[in-house]
Structure 1
Amino acid sequence: MADDRAPDPPFKPEHFVRHDSADDAEFYVQERMVQHIDNAGRGALAAFYAEHLPAGGRILDLMSSWVSHLPADIEFANVAGLGMNRAELEANPRLTEARVHDLNADPRLPYGDGIFDVCLIALSVQYLIRPLEVFAEIARVLAPGGLCIVSFSNRCFPTKAVAIWLELGDAEHAGLVGAYFCHAGGFSEPVGLNLSASGVLGDPLLVVTANKI
């Protein structure tokens, strides 16, 4: 099989260091039932999901928490949540199954090949220290043609975000996520969109999407 990854990833180990390199399990032991984007951003993300997620689809909510931002009027066959805090996952009413799993310690996803139609990473990609391995795993668990949607804003826990994320601005973040798709392999050309509300002061919202090929 041909290798469809972009050549020579432009990343260095120092790009993925963090101010707080302690075990992530310690940081996430305390549940945080907080929103990570404002009302307008949450509404825009739910509307984008409503347009792109198939009713009855099999959804993987990666790096999940107590809210998945899924549209309330669409039912899915299953929504599997994988995150760091058991209490947050159990409080999420949209999840049909939940697993606690630290992707920075082990980027392998505990799922079979090709079993999801969509993978979501909402407002948390900035914390991955092994993103190419995680994105390669996403390609593995998606069905052919399956969609991955990565959304992000300018909020984060700065001590846990990787160095390269903190060095870049919003538009450059979109390019970085696009590079994750390209260098992981197994995806179509990524597409970036700015979903920020025009003319309104508030949190920016950007998404980058790609399909499994």
Structure 2
Amino acid sequence: MTDLPSTAFRRQDETPDEQFYRQPRFVTHIDEGAIAAVTQLYREFLPSEGRILDLMSSWVSHLPDEVHYREVVGLGLNARELAANPRLTRAVVQNLNTTPLLPFESHTFDAAGCTVSIDYLTDPVTVLRDLGRVLMPGGPVVISFSNRCFPTKAVEVWHRLDDAGHLALVQQYLEAAGNWTDIVALDRSPTVNGQRRGDPLFAVVGRARS
């Protein structure tokens, strides 16, 4: 990430994230069509009966209802939201912008998802490098995002890019982390008759390097 300026990961609001996320928000941040697209990605990439890490989790994980997972661990910032999430078997409260290393042993999880949150990380490469450590070799991560965000908490570089730029940026994060392979960018925006409908939905998928 040496080609990005030093200001790339600054935010309009640099107050502690715990303060911003103190009050739970029991709302969804993308519309139903985009949520369905996330769920379909998870259906395709997250293994049934696997151990799943829901990174930057909240009160809903968008996992397919019909798929059973051995374990779903949610790591997020609001304890009340995590406690309300019916898919989680365990919850961890942690601010990844102050503590980017994950509190898990190596090769703990079979797969991971990060839904509409990657734009808030101030050190995404360190977080994703450590995520590669805690996944089993070959384990997938699905990083999904739209064009919505809390603008004061999204990093500056995110604001400067369009949808294609966001896809390229997240790919660059995984490449810079150095322990991901098979990295692909996907546009899963809902369409009707070939035209986008509602919120767009994009994803970058990679697999932990053996």
Shared fold, TM over 0.5 = yes
Structure 1: unaligned runs, 5 residues or longer: 1-7
- Does the Cα contact within 8 Å between 1:9 and 1:183 map onto a contact in 2? no
Query: Counterparts in 2 of 1:85-124, with a 5 A limit?
Result: 85-124=78-117
Paired position in structure 1 for 2:208:
212
Query: Counterparts in 2 of 1:22-37, with a 5 A limit?
Result: 22-37=15-30
Paired position in structure 2 for 1:179:
172
Paired position in structure 2 for 1:69:
62
Paired position in structure 1 for 2:142:
149
Displacement after TM superposition at 1:52 (Å) = 1.6
User: Aligned pair 1:11/2:29, yes or no?
Assistant: no
> How many residues get paired?
206
- Does the Cα contact within 8 Å between 1:31 and 1:87 map onto a contact in 2? yes
CA-based RMSD: 0.9
Report % sequence identity: 46
Displacement after TM superposition at 1:49 (Å) = 1.0
Displacement after TM superposition at 1:44 (Å) = 1.3
Alignment partner of 1:143: what SS? coil
Displacement after TM superposition at 1:28 (Å) = 0.5
Q: Runs (4+) of structure 1 moved beyond 4 Å?
A: none
Q: 1:44-99 CA deviation, whole Å, 9 max, x = no partner?
A: 11112112211100100000000000000000010000000000000100000001
Paired position in structure 2 for 1:128:
121
- Does the Cα contact within 8 Å between 2:46 and 2:112 map onto a contact in 1? no
Alignment partner of 1:120: what SS? strand
Alignment partner of 1:9: what SS? coil
Distance in 2, Cα, partners of 1:166 & 1:21: 16
Distance in 1, Cα, partners of 2:175 & 2:115: 19
Distance in 1, Cα, partners of 2:198 & 2:11: 27
Counterpart of 1:158 (choices 151, 162, 179) is 151
Distance in 1, Cα, partners of 2:5 & 2:50: 37
Displacement after TM superposition at 1:22 (Å) = 0.5
Alignment partner of 1:202: what SS? coil
User: Aligned pair 1:188/2:188, yes or no?
Assistant: no
Displacement after TM superposition at 1:117 (Å) = 0.8
- Does the Cα contact within 8 Å between 1:81 and 1:95 map onto a contact in 2? yes
Distance in 1, Cα, partners of 2:158 & 2:196: 24
User: Aligned pair 1:202/2:210, yes or no?
Assistant: no
- Does the Cα contact within 8 Å between 2:56 and 2:74 map onto a contact in 1? yes
